[in-house]
Amino acid sequence: DIVMTQSPDSLAVSLGERATINCKSSQNVLNSSNNKNYLAWYQQKPGQPPKLLICWASTRESGVPDRFSGSGSGTDFTLTISSLQAEDVALYYCHQYYSTPHSFGQGTKLEI
């Protein structure tokens, strides 16, 4: 089974500054046949379900602000918020869908 490990567990960033969240998978999630990384990022605000931000490691969902970006390949991935806004305070999770059982990282709490 693939284990997803995020770092840090929590992060405090000033408004307008960059926030970086890391996610490491215990096995490769890059499919060499289509060159796609089977990795997504979600944002969860209190009392709400998660919201898909980025899939295939770097493809931003429609409507997601361009300050959110995803990068990485293979086993190491990063979610970057280029200029933190107050509404970005949330929990962030990575998710591998390369193989079953699927798995999520433990979450990173982002605060101002």
Partner 1 sequence: QVQLVESGGGVVQPGRSLRLSCAASGFTFSNYGMHWVRQAPGKGLEWVGVLWYDGTNKYYADFVKGRFIISRDNSKNKLYLQVNSLRADDTAVYYCAKSRVRGVAGPIDYWGQGTLVTVSS
Tell me the site size for partner 1, rule CB under 8 A. 25
> Of residues 42, 77, 79, 88, which one binds partner 1 by CB under 8 A?
42
Among 24, 51, 60, 67, binds partner 1 (CB under 8 A): 51
The stretch near partner 1 (CB under 8 A) out of 16-24, 34-42, 70-78, 79-87 is 34-42
How far apart are CB 105 and partner 1 at their closest, in Å? 8
| All residues at 6 or more sequence positions from 98 whose CB lies less than 8 Å from its CB, including other chains | 2, 25, 27, 28, 29, 30, 31, 38, 39
Per CB under 8 A, 72 contacts partner 1: no
Sign, CA dihedral 82-87-90-92, equals negative
Bridge partners (DSSP) of residue 4 are 25
Binding mask 81-110 for partner 1 (x = CB under 8 A): ----------x-x-x-xx-xxxxxxxx---
